[in-house]
A and B are shown apart, each in its own frame.
Chain A
Amino acid sequence: MEKIRALGRSGIHSLERLGRGSIFLMRIFGGFWSILKRPRLLIAQFYSVGVLSLLIILVSGLFVGMVLALQGYNMLADFGAEESLGVAVALSIVRELGPVVTALLFAGRAGSALSAEIGLMKATEQLSGLEMMAVDPIHRIIAPRFFAGLISLPLLTAMFSAIGIYGGYLIGVELLGVDAGAYWSQMQAKVDWYDDVINGVLKSIVFGFVVTWIAVFEGYDAIPTSEGVSRATTRTVVHSALAILALDFMLTALMFGDV
């Protein structure tokens, strides 16, 4: 009996959090106009959320592309199809690895930082302080961070994909000797703009939305103690990672499942 009760409690608790998170999201969208009036707030967040994540994204992208080329070359060589290396690298990155790995890295790098920053602002009463100065913290603090994350992730994904494909080129063409013309021309012929590129971009927009929403909500909803903030940060990374992978499966099924 006690177990059923606990199950019910945790169910109600999760639903309640989801409800609060949704109301919170509505209020963030309500803050959109106040950002348009003061783009400076958004630009500052682009820097800390987007620009500061660049290095880890670019380095990871390069290595992912290089590894794909090494592995792909060995496999394709067995069938005498080394020329298709460009297609294999590009499709894997543009459709899957680009959006997913970028989003996972983004959750670890920027999402956790957002949760910790907002949680600490709550713990040090800065958010209450803003409210008492008649400044809505959701408009002033949360909304710029949310929109910066939402816009940064697709851009970072594009850069990850570009440098990943270049990493594949470095290994495949420069090191393993695949013909450069075949690498690029097959890629150009087989990668479809709408089916592959746009679908990848759509994925990254969905991931950007979910990861940043989780990050800012966990920070805002954190229990204002050092333990509470640390738990919120952990939850951001764990929930984001699970959400990214689950959503990726669903999106892939919708986008590519009917082939």
Chain B
Amino acid sequence: MTDSAILNDVLVSVRDLHFSRGSRKIFNGINLEIPRGKITAIMGPSGTGKTTLLKVIGGQLRPDSGTVVIDGQDLGKLSRSGLYELRKRMGMLFQSGALLTDIDVFENVAFPVREHTDLPEALLRDLVLMKLQAVGLRGARDLNPGELSGGMARRVALARAIALDPMMIMFDEPFTGQDPISMGVLVDLIKRINDALGLTSIIVSHDVKETISIADYLYIISEGKVVEHGTPEALGHSGSEWTRQFLDGLPDGPVPFHYPAVSYQEDLLGKQKGVA
């Protein structure tokens, strides 16, 4: 599929986004568009503010300038209650799962439903069991979050995120620190749930292979800007050395192996100020 075919129905659009923390500039004019019904991956080296970007899209952080439009609504112009209404249609999967630790798995998945609807208990139970079945953890309903492995916690969090049938889900580093089996389970789940429920998924990750295997569209960000974007096939043939280094995981290239320092020889001879 070509870029224009994918990008003709946009759910989230970020325009000229600037954001800084203290004196450190994190985003310096980011533009991106998230197509509806697809899986879009935002990739980049650690510390480039990928998680911050999700928090800006979720309205948890306010940008210094620029606009974020979600399903036609400009986040900057929404009131607090408007933002909360919009969030009912968004799910977010945190790296840690962010499950509430004082209630069990069943109650965690039931939580958003109880908060926002008045479903009778029997219907609520069926709904929660269906969501848990979808992530393969119906049998774990009575466990406490502390008894779950990292991968299971993320699957419960996924069940919770889809409990209210949202229009989109944001995944923050869903594959980090997973063993190969849970990694495979998560990759498969994200793809299947996105397609089955007609969701729009945004994955923030630096696990290149897994992410590329399910993503329909990629954005690569570095140093506060979008470096390159396109379908996985297009980026696979990218001419940019930087993109090649990132996607192929090469140790040296445009991003040097060494942190900037004075020359090795000078350093060893102790010519640096204050040492000699």
Contact = CB atoms under 8 A, between A and B. Distances in A.
A124 B87 CA distance: 20
Interface string B80-111: 00001101101110111011110000000001
A129 B116 contact: no
A126 B33 CA distance: 28
A125 B84 contact: no
Given A124-B101, A134-B116, A135-B115, A129 B88 contact: no
A133 B60 contact: no
B58 interface: yes
B92 A129 contact: yes
Q: Among A126, A133, A134, A140, which residue has the most Cβ atoms of chain B within 10 A? A: A133
Nearest to A48: B102
B87 A129 contact: no
A131 interface: yes
A133 B115 contact: yes
A128 interface: yes
A137 B88 CA distance: 15
B158 to A, nearest CB: 13
Given A131-B60, A135-B112, A135-B115, A126 B100 contact: yes
Interface residues on B, range: 20 to 34
Contacts of B96: 124-125
B101 A132 contact: no
Contacts of A129: 92, 94, 98-100, 157
Q: Among B85, B95, B99, which residue has the most Cβ atoms of chain A within 10 A? A: B99
A134 B116 CA distance: 9
A136 interface: yes
A132 B115 contact: no
Contact of A134 (B84, B98, B99): B84
A124 B60 contact: no
Contacts of A132: 58, 60, 87, 90-92
A141 B91 CA distance: 20
Given A125-B94, A128-B60, A129-B94, A134 B101 contact: no
Interface string B2-26: 0000000000000000000000000
Contacts of B157: 129
A126 B146 CA distance: 14
Given A133-B112, A135-B115, A128 B87 contact: no
Contacts of B92: 129, 132
Interface in A77-116: none
A20 to B, nearest CB: 15
A132 B88 CA distance: 8
Nearest to B112: A133
Contacts of A128: 55, 60, 94, 98
A131 B86 CA distance: 11
Nearest to A125: B98
B60 A126 contact: no
Nearest to B88: A134
B101 A131 contact: no
Contacts of A135: 112, 115
A138 B165 CA distance: 25
A104 to B, nearest CB: 28
A134 B87 contact: yes
A185 B157 CA distance: 64
Contacts of A131: 58, 60, 87
Contacts of B98: 124-126, 128-129
A135 B92 CA distance: 13
B156 to A, nearest CB: 12
A197 B89 CA distance: 54
Contacts of A124: 96, 98, 101
B85 A134 contact: yes
Nearest to A135: B115
A133 B111 contact: yes
29 contacts: A124-B96, A124-B101, A125-B94, A125-B95, A125-B96, A125-B98, A126-B101, A128-B55, A128-B60, A128-B98, A129-B92, A129-B94, A129-B99, A129-B157, A131-B60, A132-B60, A132-B87, A132-B90, A132-B92, A133-B87, A133-B88, A133-B112, A134-B84, A134-B85, A134-B88, A134-B112, A134-B116, A135-B115, A136-B84
